[in-house]
Amino acid sequence: MQCACALLSSVACALYNNFPQYLTNGIMWSKDIRKERKFNIYLYNALIESSLLYGSETWRLTENNKRRVEATEMDALRRSSRISRKRIRNVTIRQQIGLEETIVKEIVQNQLTWYGHVQRMGEGRLPKVALKWMPKQKRARGRTKKNWMEGIRKAMNERNLNEGQWEDRKQWSLGVGQRRKTF
């Protein structure tokens, strides 16, 4: 079988092709890695959070999507702490690991950061044109679906952010909740 990464060595190609399988089976359920090591916040950020947040700036966050993302995150956290199907609350597991916020809050912060970034762009830039675009045809009958912009407005109201406030980057990032992470 021809490998998609022909420029890489055969070992690197094998690791590349088997990485998702190795990640789920090798790290999360490995008995060789101590529980305390798995709880490491850096491991969580590198493996779980980065995978779940990829492209989340443009997602339309419905209740169903929020529930699915939270369930996926908690499944990974339960696997890494070797707790499966026991009656332990998600809040307790989060406290053991040292996580204060859910992944949904991080998604909303990323969306607001992206919204402020696009609003600071010039008028002719493609992301800003796409953000302001409105379809010409009518919507289908029935209840209208929540769109991305309505989710942004709701998040701005919850954080007391106003239109035009994105011009001051520092003030916008403080309002969004993105603070510089220090080690």
Give residue 1's pLDDT: 41
Look up residue 141 and give its two tokens.
């009958």
Q: Closest Cα to residue 115, out of 49, 179, 45, 169?
A: 169
Quick check: helix, strand or coil at residue 13?
Answer: helix
The gap from C-alpha 162 to its chain's centroid, in whole angstroms, comes to 24
What one-character DSSP code corresponds to residue 29? T
Q: What are the pLDDT digits (tens) for 56-79?
A: 888 888 888 899 988 888 888 887
Q: 28-35 — which CB contacts under 8 Å span 24+ positions?
A: 28/76, 28/79, 28/80, 29/79, 29/82, 35/81, 35/82
Q: Which residues contact 33 (CB under 8 A, 6 or more apart)?
A: 27
Class of residue 33 by CB neighbours under 10 A (exposed 0-12, middle 13-18, buried 19+) = middle
Percent of the chain, pLDDT > 70? 73
Q: What is the pLDDT of residues 51-62, one digit of tens each?
A: 888 888 888 888
pLDDT averaged over the chain? 75
Q: How far apart are CA 27 and CA 13, in angstroms?
A: 19
- pLDDT at position 26 is 56
pLDDT recorded at residue 114 = 92
